[in-house]
Amino acid sequence: MPATVARKPNRRGRSKADDGLALPPITPGMTGGHYRPLTTAEMERIHELVLQLLADLGLSQVTPSLQARAVAAGCEVDGDGRLRFPRALVEDVIARTRRKFTLHGVDPKHDIEIGGRRVHAGTGGAAPTIMDFHSGKYRESTVADLYDIARLVDRMDNIHWYHRSVVARDTETVLDLDINTTYACLSGTSKSIAVSYTDSASVKAVLPMLDAVAGGEGKFRERPFCTAVCCHVVPPMRFATESCEALEAAVEAGMPILLVAAGQAGATAPAALAGAVAQACAEVLAGLILCNIIDPDCRGIFATWPFVSDLRTGAMSGGSGEQALLSAACAQMAGFYDLPGSVPAGMTDSKLPDMQAGGEKGYTISLAAHAGASMIHESAGMHGSLMGTSFESYVLDNDLLGAILRTVRGVEVNEDTVNFEVIRDVVLGEGHFLGHPQTYNRMKTDYLYPEIADRRSISEWEDAGGHDAREVARTKVQHILADHYPNHVTPETDRWLRDTYNITLPASRMRAGNGVW
């Protein structure tokens, strides 16, 4: 767990903070894993079922290309055409796959290390609708929304990457969707991006775009800043043909791969939570094995994303207590395998940024973070069980994520924080700690101050207009989107991209003074 560097203090409690070397209250990648919903014996029992599922049941509908690779590596195809994975092969791949890697930002200042229970949070999802900022009504999402959300995320310190969170409904073909999604994400933020590619043609089409932004042919492979999101399975235990083709192309291109298994407990996964965890682990490991067969040095992310059904209706319930437990247990299983892992959390069922949303986001994200999730996806902006999003929620959730990450850092116990002389000085001196050097130092290193949550007195709040958190967030959204137009993609590169691809986002939309905000 990262900690403020401290040396033995003198009588006045002097620490490294005085020398300007102190860390801020939170940093990306603080270590989680102290919350353990599963015992070691329970994880081993789940793992045994995972091995049995892969060896004795396998997955159907593997593509011919991947089947040939898998059989050459030691897999078997049974009489029903199901690809089975021998236990020895599964355990060998788990043992030799990458434990951690750098998830690159478009700008290196946003690079983060994934793996080892180092906790990060970011966006995700595929919402078809967005709450219109001006009317307050849900409407279909667009390429312009993708770009605007990216610009917001670019300014949110506690959102560490931008995985496209809406599906642009104003594109005509799958290829246009994937090209314009990649372009909007790249143009709107210099953080790491992620795009869901559904076929190999899209992966191959965007590679020249990624190279151009990276600085030239082959440069993207040196610092891959775009993750391919591959839902390579259709639960239960069946490969998704087109997504597997995209997976193969993405691994060959050197892209990080988010291997997603998103069964729904009680529908496409067992209603028993432990069974849903086991099935998700088996499905993701099947994809990870295929990735490692293609490239043993691949950057695979163990994205076990089982969702919860409200068994009264069959509808998804992204904000339930059961979802919090599922995601935390999946994060723990990634730690059990020592693999870079991803889980979903923050997918409130509420349609508004209200009390329900805050509560559901708070406990689902907190459990995932404290269980040591390497990547918490869908942790910002999402509503309606992933069917919608809202601009102000990215600002509100950034505040919430900061507080949650502060709890992950925990309480430091060292010579400076457990110090007899500090307490003695105050007791025998002024009688309060307000003016003590330790208080001043720790004010900057131990305490996180929210940007949106209001801590003023009631009278001060009333005198300032009595605005609620959503109103404050809306004002911040307006200010950011009126002024923040990232320019990390050079005009020359942007012109080349527009000449080469069918870019639908107007160039005028990408500069201040356009009147939209």
Structure-block tokens of residue 64:
């011919």
Name, in order, each residue with C-beta under 8 angstroms of 69's C-beta and a sequence gap of 6 or more: 290, 293, 294
Helix (H) or strand (E) holding 447, with range, is none
Q: Residue 307 — φ and ψ, nearest 5°?
A: -105, 170
Task: Answer whether residue 489 is part of any domain.
Answer: no
| Angle in degrees, CA 179, 180, 182, rounded to 5 | 70
Instruction: Specify whether the CB–CB gap between 446 and 4 falls below 8 A.
Output: yes
Count of domains forming the chain: 1
Residue with tokens 């933020």: 189
pLDDT at 295: 97
| 319-to-209, 237, 382 alpha-carbon distances in Å | 37, 25, 11
Could you write out the DSSP letters of every residue in 167-225?
--TT-SSHHHHHHHHHHHHHHH-SSEEEEE--SHHHHHHHHHHHHHHHTSTTHHHHS--
Interhelix angle 355-370/391-409, nearest 10 degrees? 40
Could you write out the DSSP letters of every residue in 27-62?
-TTEE-----SS-HHHHHHHHHHHHHIIIII-BB--
Structure-block tokens of residue 473:
């967030």
Task: Answer whether residue 7 is part of any domain.
Answer: no
What pLDDT, in 10s, does the model give residues 4-14?
333 333 334 44
Selection from 146, 158, 132 nearest residue 365 by Cα:
158
pLDDT at 17: 41
| 241-to-167, 233, 322, 492 alpha-carbon distances in Å | 21, 8, 31, 38
Task: Answer whether residue 103 is part of any domain.
Answer: yes
For 304-331, give the secondary structure using H, E and C: ECCEEEECCCCEECCCCHHHHHHHHHHH
Between CA 371 and CA 516 the distance in angstroms is 42
Between CA 207 and CA 212 the distance in angstroms is 9
Task: Answer whether residue 69 is part of any domain.
Answer: no
Query: For the chain, what is the mean pLDDT?
Result: 94
Pairing of strands 315-316, 300-304: unpaired
pLDDT at 21: 57
Interhelix angle 273-294/64-73, nearest 10 degrees? 90
Which residues partner with 258 through β-bridges?
A: 229, 301
Q: Which domain holds residue 378?
A: 99-268+300-406
Task: Answer whether residue 176 is part of any domain.
Answer: yes
Q: What is the mean pLDDT of each run of 10 residues along the chain (517 residues)?
A: 36 42 86 96 98 98 97 97 98 96 98 96 97 97 98 98 97 97 98 96 98 97 98 97 96 98 96 98 98 97 96 92 98 98 98 97 98 98 97 98 97 95 96 94 94 97 97 97 96 98 96 87
184: domain CATH number is 3.20.20.480
Between CA 163 and CA 513 the distance in angstroms is 27
Between CA 334 and CA 298 the distance in angstroms is 17
Distance of CA 484 to the CA centre of its chain: 23
Task: Answer whether residue 82 is part of any domain.
Answer: no
Name, in order, each residue with C-beta under 8 angstroms of 231's C-beta and a sequence gap of 6 or more: 196, 240, 243, 260, 261, 262
What pLDDT, in 10s, does the model give residues 281-309?
999 999 999 999 999 999 999 999 999 98
What pLDDT, in 10s, does the model give residues 15-52?
444 444 568 999 999 999 999 999 999 999 999 999 99
Instruction: Specify whether the CB–CB gap between 328 and 322 falls below 8 A.
Output: no
pLDDT at 54: 98
Output Rg (C-alpha) for the chain, integer angstroms: 24
Which residues partner with 124 through β-bridges?
A: none
Residue with tokens 């003016």: 435
DSSP helix/strand/coil, 119: strand
What pLDDT, in 10s, does the model give residues 401-413?
999 999 999 999 9
Task: Answer whether residue 496 is part of any domain.
Answer: no
| 175-to-37, 168, 184, 227 alpha-carbon distances in Å | 42, 12, 14, 17
Task: Answer whether residue 391 is part of any domain.
Answer: yes
Selection from 198, 199, 189, 133 nearest residue 159 by Cα:
189
